[in-house]
Structure 1
Amino acid sequence: MIGNRYAKKPRSKDEGEKPFWISFADLMTALMTLFLVVMAVSLMVVTKKINEATQAEKERSSEILDICTSIKDDLTLKNQLITVDCRENRINFGEAGRFGHNDYRLNSEGIQALSALVPVVLEAANSENGKKWFKQIVIEGFTDTDGSYLYNLNLSLRRSEWVMCSLLDPTFNQELTLTNEQKNQIKQLFLAGGVSFNAAKDSKEASRRVELRMQFYGLKEKDSAEAQPIFVSAPIETCQLAR
């Protein structure tokens, strides 16, 4: 009897394993909780960055719209045939910006409209928002569909070059008086380009035209953009196109 009283009770097979499995379950719970916390923090950081980028893009778009609107609403352009499209950031001269068939010379009305527009554009480019976002203005020459593509490409380039000549060659446009600083800014800001007949209008007369396309820096583009070249003005700029 005494021996039986102190006899060891048999242990179940998994009794020694229970503490181990309980600790492992607690560990998994802790790891899962930590994972959820890390995921929640990561989502908050990503969401914050997206919201900041969205807000920055909204501010950029608003400031660019202010630049374009300041050009569009300028009183000196009210009596001109100029149309400023702030949705596409394009400036159209209407009938004043049209050319004759196979001709690259801008008419007198176009020269007059250009003389009124350029000081307004330079003023907008020198504003606080303009210095921040204004990248360049592309002078785009267009043609009708008569002739070959390469012929019209050359013709469209000469039309845009004629506009540039009207800005820099004093013999082209005596109504436009610019300082050397303004002329240097035109060389940095304006870019002549031809589009041939890729954007033809409904009529051939309307297709033979010139337009200005305003380009602006993106959010990250401004910081990585190369410095603008500094041009040394010649005593007198001379256009190379035949008059």
Structure 2
Amino acid sequence: MLSNKAAPPGRSREEGEKPFWISYADLMTALMILFLVIMVTSLVLVTQKIREATQDEEQRVSEISDLCRELANNADLKNKVIQIDCKDNRINFGEAGRFGTGQFKLSSDGENALLDVVPLILQAANSEVGNKWFKQVLIEGFTDTDGSYLYNLNLSLRRSEWVMCTLIGDKNALKLRLDPDQKIQIKKLFLAGGVAFNNSKSTKDASRRVELRLQFYGLKEREDLNPELDAKFSDSTEEKCFI
């Protein structure tokens, strides 16, 4: 028996010729939306990284400031001669830290102030924050403008080296009750450097001075330890103390 069910009507000719691809305008719109999504995501990630870096730097600055203020408070209790500027991270000793014309040795008051501040600096460097950020202490010996540049450069270097020798001398080491490890730490932590008559003061007397500049690590900076170089530097510095 034949079925009377009608066959489905065939597709018209016009319907078969209609395009089934996405139009060019729709394709460009989709690509633009995808591009905007990628850009917004990238901006969010970059902004987040910048915010985290800013927060880390603010925390670093805050921790270093707190460390310096604590050091300044302890120094003020120990010896009123010691003056610590936490804005520039510098330590000076006022008139006690001044040299005579052509001289590279401080008075007894200046030497005592140096010896008083050393244990405080070691205490700060060995603290939790100090272990994290404390890099080194640069000894800067300044001169006045009298004499040639090379003369003053040599004189400023002799002044900073004398300070270094004062810190690591056996007599003062006994006075400070430094153990061998602390003496080695001083050699590594303190660095003598001449600066000639740069950053001169209003008077020649005030210009002939010594200052200790506290230096701290940056966010990305980490100490590249080299025991051989440290040993050579320490040995050469100590040899100069006996010349």
TM-score, normalization by structure 1:
0.84
What RMSD over aligned residues (CA atoms) do the two structures have, in Å?
2.3
**Separation (CA, whole Å) in 1 of partners of 2:90 and 2:242:** 26
Question: Residue type of the partner of 2:178?
Answer: L
Label 1:140 to 1:241 Cα distance change in 2 as closer, same or farther (>3 A): farther
Question: Contact 2:142–2:208 (CA<8 Å) still a contact in 1?
Answer: yes
Label 1:82 to 1:96 Cα distance change in 2 as closer, same or farther (>3 A): same
What residue in structure 2 maps to residue 25 of structure 1? 25
Label 1:72 to 1:134 Cα distance change in 2 as closer, same or farther (>3 A): same
Question: Residue type of the partner of 1:126?
Answer: N
Question: Contact 1:160–1:194 (CA<8 Å) still a contact in 2?
Answer: yes
What residue in structure 2 maps to residue 125 of structure 1? 125
Question: Residue type of the partner of 2:168?
Answer: L
What residue in structure 1 maps to residue 92 of structure 2? 92
Question: Residue type of the partner of 1:159?
Answer: R
Deviation at residue 241 of structure 1 after TM alignment: 6.1
Deviation at residue 174 of structure 1 after TM alignment: 5.8
Question: Residue type of the partner of 1:227?
Answer: L
Deviation at residue 157 of structure 1 after TM alignment: 0.5
**CA distances 1:105-136 after superposition (whole Å, capped 9, x unpaired):** 11100111111100000000000110000110
**CA distances 1:85-105 after superposition (whole Å, capped 9, x unpaired):** 111000011111101110001
What residue in structure 2 maps to residue 111 of structure 1? 111
Paired residues, number: 223
**Separation (CA, whole Å) in 2 of partners of 1:214 and 1:73:** 16
Question: Residue type of the partner of 2:179?
Answer: T
**Separation (CA, whole Å) in 2 of partners of 1:133 and 1:210:** 24
Label 1:173 to 1:123 Cα distance change in 2 as closer, same or farther (>3 A): closer
SS in 2 for 1:119: helix
SS in 2 for 1:32: helix
What residue in structure 2 maps to residue 153 of structure 1? 153
Deviation at residue 176 of structure 1 after TM alignment: 2.7
SS in 2 for 1:105: coil
Label 1:228 to 1:119 Cα distance change in 2 as closer, same or farther (>3 A): farther
Question: Residue type of the partner of 1:86?
Answer: C
SS in 1 for 2:137: strand
**Range with bigger deviation, 70-79 or 25-34:** 70-79
Label 1:99 to 1:172 Cα distance change in 2 as closer, same or farther (>3 A): farther
What residue in structure 1 maps to residue 49 of structure 2? 49
Question: Residue type of the partner of 1:135?
Answer: K
Question: Contact 1:77–1:117 (CA<8 Å) still a contact in 2?
Answer: no
Deviation at residue 214 of structure 1 after TM alignment: 0.5
Which ranges of structure 1 fall in alignment gaps of 5 or more residues?
Answer: 1-10
Question: Residue type of the partner of 1:115?
Answer: L
Question: Contact 1:169–1:238 (CA<8 Å) still a contact in 2?
Answer: no
Question: Contact 2:75–2:117 (CA<8 Å) still a contact in 1?
Answer: no
SS in 2 for 1:71: helix
Superposition pairs of residues 193-232 of structure 1, within 5 angstroms: 193-222=193-222, 225-227=223-225, 229=227, 231=231
Label 1:201 to 1:84 Cα distance change in 2 as closer, same or farther (>3 A): same
Deviation at residue 18 of structure 1 after TM alignment: 7.5
Deviation at residue 27 of structure 1 after TM alignment: 1.1
**CA distances 1:44-88 after superposition (whole Å, capped 9, x unpaired):** 000000000000000110111122111101166453311101110
Question: Residue type of the partner of 1:240?
Answer: C
SS in 2 for 1:221: coil
Superposition pairs of residues 140-179 of structure 1, within 5 angstroms: 140-171=140-171, 175-179=175-179
Question: Contact 1:76–1:116 (CA<8 Å) still a contact in 2?
Answer: no
TM-score, normalization by structure 2:
0.84
Question: Residue type of the partner of 2:180?
Answer: N
Deviation at residue 24 of structure 1 after TM alignment: 1.6
Question: Contact 1:139–1:190 (CA<8 Å) still a contact in 2?
Answer: yes
